[in-house]
Homo-oligomer: A and B are copies of this chain.
């Protein structure tokens, strides 16, 4: 490792302080029984009709590797609030729990547990913060990418977000989640290296500006990269840039093969039409039009509605930050302990009690409705359970899944969405998530109508 950016990368200590103080109190009072927590979204964010599960694999890596090192313990000791017995307990702490999860790329909806953890309460509590940031963020971005996929129709899109993402982890996870949600590539080289995601890149305005003439920039770039190249044509004047690109390609002849021209500013649909016409007139029908510049699913849908001849999009800021919805609002709640099911009553924040399972009913290739049950209820007929066992006593039950499997699952999930749920705005009738009679009974016996 050539450098560490912000100190140690054992992120086990990435936890809220109260997890450790609560742990100290549990420890002092001998409360080390097993508890069950569920991670879920209380509601779908605005304008959303579904969410896409993502982040589970990284969450499981974290749980398997969880431990405090001596430096962590020395820091905690320096706070002067914990006694040595508890610090020794923390030093030896590993995650020993059982985990169930909805696989990455699967659809999920409000209140449905994305992850269910049963572990000694101190362990289950301390890992909360990381699990929420990891799975909440990745699910947010995978879901955003899925919306961009729906908006793109036959066109494709790539992740151009790293420069606007919230730091290196965000950029890596945004690239990963976007790829699962439907992006064909990323501009993020580190994400390419770590996750094996295909890379995409064109050129910047600064490159064009480094030459006296735009034509010289195009010629030099094609000389270095004669095949599969994209030229950025809007540094000075987009239409003129398109003509110059065509001229250079004609000049260089068979030695080069231009894949696309990129437009990054101005009235993109109108310019795309002009550029398309120039390319056709120049006998370059195979050259694609690539558009970028503050795009999101809404603008792409507008462009498509306007008949803009754009083949591919670069989506940056709005994809990697979540854009109109920068946080999923995922929560992680105690649903049971050794005394049985538990629930929270706080105004507007009440939870459903007990460990749960979710069953999905499908017909004719489309999702129909979900049924949320207690985890130990018999499975209903004609439906498949979404939560699968993924970790037992702190160890993965199966290998980390290849990224492509999650991507394929996401593709199938989107294909199974009924037309109304594919809209970019809230559907008149949301997807139905039923609660089993047993869940309703338990919730209402505890004061909340499930």
* Among A18, A160, A166: residue with most chain B CB under 10 A: A166
Is A236 within 8 A of B187, CB to CB?
no
Beyond contacts A17-B189, A317-B329: 10 other A-B pairs, Cβ-Cβ < 8 A, are A3-B62, A9-B9, A11-B190, A16-B160, A20-B189, A22-B203, A25-B225, A37-B206, A166-B166, A167-B172
Closest Cβ of chain B to A75, distance in Å, is 4
Contact between B235 and A192, CB atoms less than 8 A apart: no
B16 contacts A187, CB within 8 Å? Answer: yes
Query: Which residues of B lie under 8 Å from residue A343 when comparing CB positions?
Result: 209
Structural contact, B10 and A3, CB atoms closer than 8 A: yes
Known: A25-B225, A163-B132, A265-B349. A3 touches B12 (CB 8 A): yes
Q: Roughly how many angstroms separate A383 CA and B201 CA in the complex, as a whole number?
A: 43
Query: Chain B residues with Cβ under 8 A from A172's Cβ?
Result: 6, 14, 167
Contacts of A221 in B (CB 8 A): 22, 25
Q: By the criterion of a CB under 8 Å from any partner CB, how many residues of chain A are at the interface?
A: 121
- Residues A28 and B266 in contact, CB atoms below 8 Å apart: no
Question: In the bound complex, how far is the Cα of B225 from the Cα of A25, in angstroms?
Answer: 8
- A401 interface residue (CB < 8 Å to B): no
In the assembly, what is the distance between CA of A37 and CA of B116, in Å? 49
Within 8 A of B (CB), among A188-211: 188-190, 192-194, 199-207, 209-210
Residues on B with beta carbons closer than 8 Å to the beta carbon of A136: 163-164
Q: Is A326 an interface residue when CB atoms closer than 8 A count as contact?
A: yes
